[in-house]
């Protein structure tokens, strides 16, 4: 299974979300998380750009290393390869759907069960470290819930495939 996180520049929210989700899946060990590939892209990304300094530093505070991350632009190919696409904002969801992701694309907060008005994750780009810390905390909160839903849905799909 391939999970794609989408934000704007692919240097703040989606790389942090991908790193957090990888950790959450690793913590699950053999309970279904090891076969989930987690990637990210941006609707207006500059290919090859590193994670923003704020994202990099806040991730390090939590024991995550974003130094290998390189931004990539959202493409029809990336959307086609993904089984599940989680956008940080409504416009990210709309763009992924326009590229063929309808039915597989959700607002991250909505996927985690938040009401529509609480579904988006704000962009910390250009803000101070406290803004990045707030974004990290919000992502962590949503992803702890999202990983449980992902595993339930993934288990259901695998069971259907066995029949």
Number of Cβ within a 10 Å radius of residue 105? 24
Residues 9, 157: Cα–Cα separation, whole Å: 32
For the chain, report the end-to-end CA distance as a whole number of angstroms.
19
Active site residues: 7, 13, 123
Residue in this structure with the two tokens 């949503």, named with its chain if needed: 142
Residues 50, 66: Cα–Cα separation, whole Å: 8
Residues 14, 4: Cα–Cα separation, whole Å: 9
Residue in this structure with the two tokens 């060990």, named with its chain if needed: 29
């Amino acid at each position: 299974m391939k999970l794609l996180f989408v934000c704007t520049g692919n240097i703040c929210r989606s790389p942090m979300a991908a790193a957090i989700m990888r950790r959450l899946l690793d913590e699950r060990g053999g309970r279904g998380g090891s076969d989930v590939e987690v990637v990210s892209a941006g609707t207006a990304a500059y290919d090859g750009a590193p994670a923003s300094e704020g994202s990099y530093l806040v991730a390090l505070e939590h024991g995550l290393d974003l130094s290998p991350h390189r931004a990539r632009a959202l493409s029809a190919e990336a959307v086609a390869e993904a089984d599940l696409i989680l956008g940080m904002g409504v416009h990210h969801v709309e763009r992924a759907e326009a590229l063929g992701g309808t039915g597989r694309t959700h607002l991250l907060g909505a996927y985690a069960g938040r009401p529509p008005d609480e579904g988006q994750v704000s962009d910390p780009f250009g803000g101070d470290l406290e803004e990045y810390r707030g974004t990290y905390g919000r992502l962590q909160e949503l992803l702890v819930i999202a990983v449980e839903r992902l595993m339930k849905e993934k288990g259901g799909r695998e069971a259907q495939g066995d029949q």
